[in-house]
Structure 1
């Protein structure tokens, strides 16, 4: 693999490099500091409107802080905040249509550095303290970078698969789902940084999780009516990570919009979205008859889902109409309401921050 020369860029220069790429006018900063455990919410905003934002929620106080990136740094986050990952005490915020990753301080939310000139980044997976992967919607390749220097060190060619999304790791292998007009789960050898296998599932697998028994779960959205890639029933799949074999677990009606899979902290309970929120033990032989959480009747789109790994409380993001500020619903492990709070436009992904991370 061709390696790019690595340089250590001073944080100040890196800040201006990332900021200039975004091309936003500066605003007054509001310094503040957060302590304790919390939950970040990435709000996508509207495509090409540059109104993505980052929210921070304290589960103990039930206090929500919106636009924390903007307030801490004096400039907007960018266009479509796709995901966030915490690693070694830093937050990595992926801004899809801006082609950038911001690295932020988890207490002050201030920029520590960044990675730019990406095509359409989606998610980050840390293989080690010196190697991480960034998937991409349009690049037909996965970017490799060094978290210590924030320098790109190579790419993984995805062999004709344009879209790569979420990642999970089993042993030395990283699995990633190809979502856009595709039906594959790619298997990457982290020792050689090459794709070594392709697993066929249904049309457009949306996300991935790895349970405690070494089973990978994904749910496909089935595409859409009139799609050039075809249209089929959304389906829940289970993949044995050791044998790399996929099993069709359950198919839903075509009109049932499906997205997102999530696990609790013990990784023995699976949650997923199929219009409503569903919950099952990972050892169950079938999906439940009744949903865990019924979606509100009107003006509601369950768009994002996560489960607190410490408390098993469930958080659901409601995009409403993709135009107004979204809403987050918080529930107990039994599905009892705990809190409701507003965030930014189109809340899509969550990231828990704990003091021990």
Structure 2
């Protein structure tokens, strides 16, 4: 009973890093300044995913923004979010849908259904976007204007032992869409966006979980290597650089096996520096010939409470570093904000298992 009361209380409580500028009530949100959305996954099968919104200028946080603005829960496992034409597309993985919201008021304006286990969305135009999927063995094509499914790209490799290909993150070069295949897989798929067909499978390390493209048109993939006892195998994690023009692997940076797996590869706005999580936040110029020797921001500090870094985002305008701490995966997590140098700026409470960031640019 106490847990239920606490849960209801948290649905209506706005937690501020310094002060709370937003009153509790119906339809009170309106923010046309720069901001940051945080998708809080929540616990699998609990339906307690949520959306937080952080104002860098005011240093304020709005938690449960979607619920408060719309009076309905976000759903089960908020995986990611992207913005297009003033609308935010929130991918809710285990609910099999994408909610579309006004990014100034957080009000619901539409939803996309008919999805199996959606993960990420990538916009090709106002009327075409791709949605990756963990279990569908297909990439779904949608029309963002009409909120409808318009097609599928079959990615099934007919390998029955593992559920391949589970598609994850996407980047594009010319008309080539590069897609990482994460769970029990070792491929990056190349899709011709003119024909919506798979034209190439690039074998990388085990479980490529995230992908970016740099200013030199090199595709970077981070592979977590699996885990000890995995039926798919366990190997050293790796960071891999692929030439987007030739589809060839240029360099493999091997990492040591550890208690955490490298993840959340991201890149700054200039696309000249990459970042990732691996027992801390690591930073690396795209022209570097070896991995950095020390993390930019360590996860563990002697004499201080250890953190559990889970989400990572780089502000494309300021290069400030945003990190989330999942703590124990049960209680509300923490958002940390740092300068590009790694100096802390702010921190505040967010939702349960805060996983990804979406930056709102008012320009």
Q: TM-score, normalised by structure 1?
A: 0.90
Q: Which residue of 2 aligns with 1:324?
A: 331
Give the length in aligned residue pairs: 330
Distance 2:358 2:196 in 1: 26
- What is the CA-CA distance between 1:162 and the residue it aligns to? 3.0
Distance 1:302 1:355 in 2: 28
Distance 1:93 1:317 in 2: 18
Distance 1:175 1:29 in 2: 43
- Cα RMSD (Å) of the superposition? 1.4
Q: Which residue of 1 aligns with 2:205?
A: 202
- What is the CA-CA distance between 1:189 and the residue it aligns to? 0.5
Verify the 8 A CA contact 2:299 2:306 in the aligned structure 1.
Answer: no
Residues 48 and 29 from structure 1, CA distance in 2 versus in 1: closer, same or farther, beyond 3 angstroms? farther
Q: Which residue of 2 aligns with 1:128?
A: 125
Residues 79 and 299 from structure 1, CA distance in 2 versus in 1: closer, same or farther, beyond 3 angstroms? farther
CA displacement 1:299-335 (0-9 Å, x = unmatched): 4211111110100100011111111111111110111
- What is the CA-CA distance between 1:248 and the residue it aligns to? 4.2
Q: Which residue of 2 aligns with 1:55?
A: 52
Counterparts of 1:85-164 in structure 2 under 5 Å?
85-160=82-157, 161-164=164-167
Which aligned segments of 4 or more residues in structure 1 are displaced greater than 4 angstroms? Answer: none
Q: Which residue of 1 aligns with 2:278?
A: 274
Distance 1:147 1:347 in 2: 25
Verify the 8 A CA contact 2:265 2:275 in the aligned structure 1.
Answer: yes
Q: Which residue of 2 aligns with 1:74?
A: 71
Asked whether 1:31 is paired with 2:27, we answer yes
Verify the 8 A CA contact 1:29 1:74 in the aligned structure 2.
Answer: no
Asked whether 1:190 is paired with 2:193, we answer yes
Q: Which residue of 2 aligns with 1:250?
A: 253
2:222 paired residue among 219, 223, 230 = 219
Distance 2:252 2:57 in 1: 37
Distance 2:92 2:250 in 1: 33
Q: TM-score, normalised by structure 2?
A: 0.89
Distance 2:49 2:250 in 1: 37
Verify the 8 A CA contact 2:324 2:333 in the aligned structure 1.
Answer: yes
Q: Which runs of 5+ in 1 are unaligned?
A: 1-26
- What is the CA-CA distance between 1:204 and the residue it aligns to? 0.3
Secondary structure in structure 2 of the residue aligned to 1:101: strand
- What is the CA-CA distance between 1:296 and the residue it aligns to? 2.9
Distance 1:48 1:197 in 2: 35
Verify the 8 A CA contact 1:140 1:158 in the aligned structure 2.
Answer: yes
Counterparts of 1:306-321 in structure 2 under 5 Å?
306-321=313-328
